[in-house]
Structure formats: structure tokens, C-alpha cells
Amino acid sequence: MKKIFLSQLALFTLLFIFVLYIFFVQDKERPFGRYIGQYQSFQGVTASYDAMTGYIIVHDTNINRLVSFQGTYPSRVGKHPEEVRFVNEDAFKKSIYGEAKISITNTIKKMTTVTMTTNQGEITLELFGDLKPKTVENFTKLAKDGFYNGTRFHRVIKGFMVQGGDPNTQDRAENYYMPGTDKYVARDHMDIWGTGGPGYSFADELSNENNNVIGTISMANSGPNTNGSQFFINTANNNFLDTKHTVFGKVVAGMDVVSKIENNKTGQNDRPIEDMIIEKMEVK
């Protein structure tokens, strides 16, 4: 009788361990391993691949965590999201359980976006706050303060980039260069376009993820660690700039507007003949 009881107890124990395995291990591994990269939610888990940074981002609403890591890339990308697969799912599952280097945050990081309204249309920017925190903080502060409102894209080179952010390109009710006059008309001072800034400079934030490709936004400068307010949007793959100019975001909507600005006729010093004006910026 005792042997039967012990046998039943052992069977019950094994069954209990199996149930625990299914609930705590197998069920938690399956969503990450099976659904990684499909850009859809399954049991509270959503995975996506950021081609710009090289990171795979996984959001698990069950534990309210966002996990990001590098090292696994798509083997192919199909026409539909469900066709996206990653090379090594086992490596991903191992990384979740601490066998590879990962970074985990307990709160979901809100993506910073900026809507730039121009006289040609709207451009929406997604900023890399995690990768370039100082640059993004500076840009968003200036945008919130209205610093860019009324400034012009003062340098446009087709097949290269469009540049803006200089306060010298902004018409003002008072003339700070010529005291005693009532108004500063920017086009009367085109010789100083491209020389203005916020009155300070800050250091570059260059890294391996610093890729000046089509649609990215970078800081313009006059040399190392001289960033201020001026920026440019790449209209070509300009990777020769990667070691010199901080990439801090990308255009996610409105590249057609960027193209309109890029294709504007230009005069001396690549100045657009027609005014390409930033009317306002909204940070979200």
C-alpha cells in the first residue's frame, strides 16, 4: 500500500512539475521565439525590428517591459509582415533569459516625434532619444520654445541634403544687427545665412549607429563638437558624413515634402530662390 502511495505521489509530483514548466517556461518562451519579428501582437507580446538602429524591440504587456538587443537580423523580409523571420530564434530566447547581453527597462519608453510644418507641407520626424539623448533634448527644447518658427531652409543641394535651423534666416519685428531700425528682413542679409545658432554649442554624439542614409536628420556643424541649432535632412545615402555629423532621427512621413524643398531652384551658395519656410514645430 505504501509503495502504491509513493508511486502515485511521484507521478503527481512529475505532473505538477510538468504543469509548472508549461506555465512558467514553455508558455513564456513560445511568444518570443515563435512570434519574434512578425510585427503583430500575440498574448500581449509584440516584436519589431528597427533597421535604422539594428535593434529588435520586444514589448511584453504582461510584465510591462520593453526589451531591446542586437545580434539577430532578418534572414528575409517579405511583402507581408507575417513573412518576416529572424535568423536565430534560439539566440533570441537565450538572450531573454540572460545568456546574452540585453538591456531591459521597467517602463515603456515613449517615442519622441516632431511634426515640422513648412510652407510646402508637413514633415514628421521620429527622434532617437535613447541613442542621442543630448542632441534630441536640444532639438526638442528649441522646437518647443519656437526657436525654429519662421526660419528658412537656407541651403539646398539636390541629391545630397536640405539644411535649415539658422535664426539668421528668420524675419523679425526688430533688427538686432542694426539698432534703430524697426525690422530685420532676412533676405537683406543672405551673406550671413548659415552662420547663426542658439548662442552655445555642444558635443557630437557619434556611434556605430550613426548612419547618414536617406531620410535621416543630422546636426550641421562647423567642426567637431560645434553643434547648435542647424540641421539637415539627407536626401541621399551620405555615409561619408557618419564620423562628422550626429544622426538623431529620421523622417517617418513627408519625404515628398522634403523632395519639394530639395527640387527648388537655387542661386548663389545653394540658397533657394523661393522661400522654404518652417512655420512651426510640434513635439509629441
CATH of the domain at 181: 2.40.100.10
Is 224 exposed, middle or buried (CB count within 10 Å of its CB: 0-12, 13-18, 19+)?
exposed
> Looking at 105, 134, 166, which one is the last position of a domain?
105
Same domain, 254 and 182: yes
In order of 69, 70, 91, 121, 214, the CA distances from 27 in angstroms are: 21, 24, 17, 48, 41
Please report the pLDDT score of residue 180 as a whole number: 66
Specify whether 16 is catalytic.
no
Measured CA to CA, the distance from residue 201 to residue 197 in angstroms comes to 8
- Are both 152 and 88 inside the same structural domain? no
Helices (H), the chain: 2-21, 27-35, 89-96, 133-144, 255-262
Shared-domain flag, residues 146 and 275? yes
Angstrom CA distances, 64 to 26, 42, 58, 69, 128, stand at 19, 14, 11, 17, 21
- Examine the domain organization and report whether 121 and 196 are in the same domain: yes
Gap between the Cα atoms of 96 and 93, Å rounded = 5
Please indicate, yes or no, whether residues 146 and 255 belong to a single structural domain of this protein.
Answer: yes
* Domain match, 12 and 143 both: no
Among residues 59, 160, 170, 202, the one annotated as catalytic is 160
Are residues 137 and 251 part of one domain? Answer: yes
C-alpha cell at 54: 539594428
8 flagged as catalytic: no
The structural domain count of the chain equals 2
The per-residue pLDDT for 186 is: 86
11 and 143 co-located in one domain: no
Per-residue cell: 262: 530639395
Active site residue 232: yes
Of 92, 128, 153, 232, catalytic: 232
| 92 and 126 together in one domain | no
Q: What is the pLDDT of residue 9?
A: 66
Please give the pLDDT value at position 5. Answer: 57
Could you tell me if 151 and 270 lie in one domain?
yes
Output the pLDDT for position 225: 96
Q: Reply yes or no on whether 172 is catalytic.
A: no
Closest CA to 258 of 186, 146, 159, 127: 159
The active-site residue, picked from 155, 211, 227, 231, is 155
Rounded to whole angstroms, the Cα distance separating 173 from 222 reads: 29
From the candidates 92, 210, 241, 248, which is the catalytic residue? 241
Q: How many CB atoms lie within 10 A of CB 156?
A: 23
Q: Which of 158, 161, 116 is nearest to 139 (CA)?
A: 116
Summarised one tens digit per residue, pLDDT across range 249-261 is 999 999 999 999 9
Do the Cβ atoms of 142 and 219 come closer than 8 Å?
no
Q: Is 225 a catalytic residue?
A: no
Structural domain ending residue among the three candidates 87, 105, 123: 105
Last residue of a domain, one of 58, 84, 105: 105
Q: Which residues of the chain have pLDDT under 50?
A: 25-45, 49-51, 53-55, 59-109
Residues 87 and 146 grouped into a single domain: no
Domain of 265, in residue numbers: 112-283
269 neighbors 100 (Cβ within 8 angstroms): no
pLDDT at 23: 53
Catalytic site residue from 120, 163, 212, 238: 163
155 in catalytic set: yes
- 163 catalytic? Reply is yes
Active-site hit among 127, 245, 248, 271:
245
Q: Are residues 101 and 116 in the same domain?
A: no
In the set 221, 227, 230, 238, the catalytic residue is 221
Dist. CA 116–CA 122, nearest whole Å: 6
